[in-house]
Amino acid sequence: MGMYRALACAFGALVACSFTPSGDGSGGDDDAAVGDDAAGDDAAPGVDAVTPDAPATTDAAPPDAGCVETCSGDDAITCSGGTPMSERCDLGCSTTGGVHCRVMVPSNLPDASDLTGVTAGLTFAPAQDYYLLTDTGEIVYDVGGTRMTLRAAGGDVAGTRFRVVSDTLAVLAVDTFTLPATARVYGFGNRALIVLARNAITVGGEIDFSAGCFLGQTFTRACGGPGAGDGGTSAAVNGDGCAGGTGGSDGGNETGGAGGGFATAGGNGGGAPGKTTPAAAAITGCPGPALVPLLGGGGGGAGAPSGSSVGGGGGGALQLTSLTSVTLSAVSASDRATFFMAGAGGKGTFTTTRGGGGGGAGGAVLIEAPAVTVTSALFACGGGGGAGGRVTTLSSTTDRDGGWGRRDGMQAPGGVGDNMGGFGGAGGTPTAAAQNGAGNVDGTGGGGGGIGRVRVNNLAGAFTMPASARVTASYSSGQINLQ
């Protein structure tokens, strides 16, 4: 994640509850009984007057005596001055730490306090491309070659708030978030992003946090998406991230890099006589199905230290959290909410003895709200293909690089190698593991990248994607965090 995904060159809260009385209290002190008057002047002569003992006084009852705080279904019953008060809880009632209405706690954050003072939403225009920098919170777009700003960089800006949480995570807090059909947001930066909204999040356009970036005026596939691992390069051959692929080797019979992993492992780099096969990393260091912590895919390993066959970057990570609702909509089957978090393919080389770079793994999408609605959506989190090895000008030149993770659910293709090298392995999908790079004699192929994850959390604790949705990732669902 060390490469900053430069943008300039691309141009050149909680639910409110009402209180209603549910009954009368018994409160107040009982009146103390008053004793009889003592016998006075009429007492018999020579007999002392006798004063009778006063009756015992009854102790005053506690103010809330007879009122018991408890949960009654989804109602919180609390006491005020001896009077029970009923509060309807939209997210349910809890007795842990005292009777109260439960509140939602966003994943990967301690609470929703980033929404304090937030008053404005973010609304994007149709048919417009936007560029969001996840390290600063800036959102810009281009109109006729002129750079325009939707949100300036910084913390509290125009009723919204941006905060860096850690080296790998940032949060953008808004009142609402609306991305209409035909609008597109590209994410750039080192940090995964949480969009936290007090009210509705609606997505009908596309959010692209896939691998790849511009460094100066040069595009490179080695950059990971926001929060993901970079692919290996000649300076550091191993891929970065939670399961970066091992880089290839120099010195005769050179090997291709392994693919990056995430929900599933990448493929190994191609083997060669007398060389250790570049192995895909174990995925034990990557987030599990709940996507805590929020990270993207691992980068693929480079082909060789002395070559130009870089590994593909991993796909980025995005979390959309609303305290009320998230809706993913569609105008048509081809125009629907889309999350493109694909890993990049490894790069091949014209050098006749070099191996191919491994593909990056797919990234992550976490959607959570009490109510989640999906009419149709595409989650493309497939792994990139490995590059072909030992490519010469006499062999294939256009297909030596591995492909990006695909939108159609098919495996990203591996690159082409010549007859002494090897083909790159195809990227992973939910139904097919990432393939190993092919090995022969010299300059073997890179391994394909593994797939990413998609998670949906709602109040019910389970969510089934509609048949109209396509998920090229490992999918799971669960319940929102409640306290």
pLDDT computed for residue 46 by the predictor: 40
Q: Is the pLDDT of residue 36 over 50?
A: no
Name beta bridge partners: 171: 163, 194
Q: Is the pLDDT of residue 95 over 80?
A: yes
Pairwise CA distance, residues 185 & 132, whole Å: 7
Q: Is the pLDDT of residue 398 over 90?
A: no
pLDDT computed for residue 77 by the predictor: 95
Residue with tokens 């997210």: 91
Q: Using only C-alpha atoms, what is the Rg of the chain? A: 32
Mean pLDDT of the chain: 86
Name beta bridge partners: 482: 104
Q: Is the pLDDT of residue 370 over 80?
A: yes
Residues 322, 369 contacting (CB under 8 angstroms):
yes
Residues 365, 327 contacting (CB under 8 angstroms):
no
Pairwise CA distance, residues 291 & 476, whole Å: 10
Name beta bridge partners: 321: 196, 368
pLDDT computed for residue 64 by the predictor: 55
* CA angle at 153 for the pair 380 and 377, rounded to the nearest 5°: 20
Hey, what are 426's tokens? 């195809």
- Of 228-232, 330-334, 338-342, the one with minimum mean pLDDT is 330-334
Selected residue with higher pLDDT from 336 and 170: 170
DSSP string, 379-417: EE-PPPPPPPSS--TTS-SSS-SPPPPPSSSSPPPPPP-
Selected residue with higher pLDDT from 384 and 60: 384
Residue with tokens 């279904």: 73
pLDDT computed for residue 418 by the predictor: 67
What are the pLDDT digits (tens) for 96-130? 999 999 999 999 999 999 999 999 999 999 999 99
pTM of the model: 0.85
Nearest partner of 290 among 325, 328, 319, judged by Cα: 319
Q: For the chain, percent helix, then strand, then coil, each to nearest 5?
A: 0, 30, 70
Cβ-based neighbours of 189, under 8 Å, separated by 6 or more: 4, 5, 133, 134, 135, 136, 170, 226
- What residue type is assigned to position 472 of the chain? T
Selected residue with higher pLDDT from 469 and 399: 469
Alpha helices, DSSP H, located in 299-399: none
pLDDT computed for residue 393 by the predictor: 53
What are the pLDDT digits (tens) for 203-243? 999 999 999 998 887 889 999 999 999 999 989 999 999 99
Hey, what are 390's tokens? 């030992």
Q: Is the pLDDT of residue 447 over 70?
A: yes
Domain extent listing, the chain: 1-12+105-483
- Element (DSSP H or E) covering residue 9: helix 8-11
Q: What is the mean pLDDT of residues 364-389?
A: 93
pLDDT computed for residue 14 by the predictor: 30
What does the DSSP 8-state code read for residue 91?
Answer: T
Alpha-carbon torsion 179, 219, 278, 273, what sign? Answer: positive
Cβ-based neighbours of 343, under 8 Å, separated by 6 or more: 210, 211, 260, 297, 300, 312, 313, 314, 315, 359, 360, 361, 362, 363, 382, 383, 384, 404, 405, 412, 427, 449, 452
Selected residue with higher pLDDT from 217 and 268: 268
Q: Is the pLDDT of residue 23 over 70?
A: no
pLDDT bracket for residue 38 (50, 70, 90):
very low
Residue with tokens 């597109």: 184
Q: Is the pLDDT of residue 56 over 60?
A: no
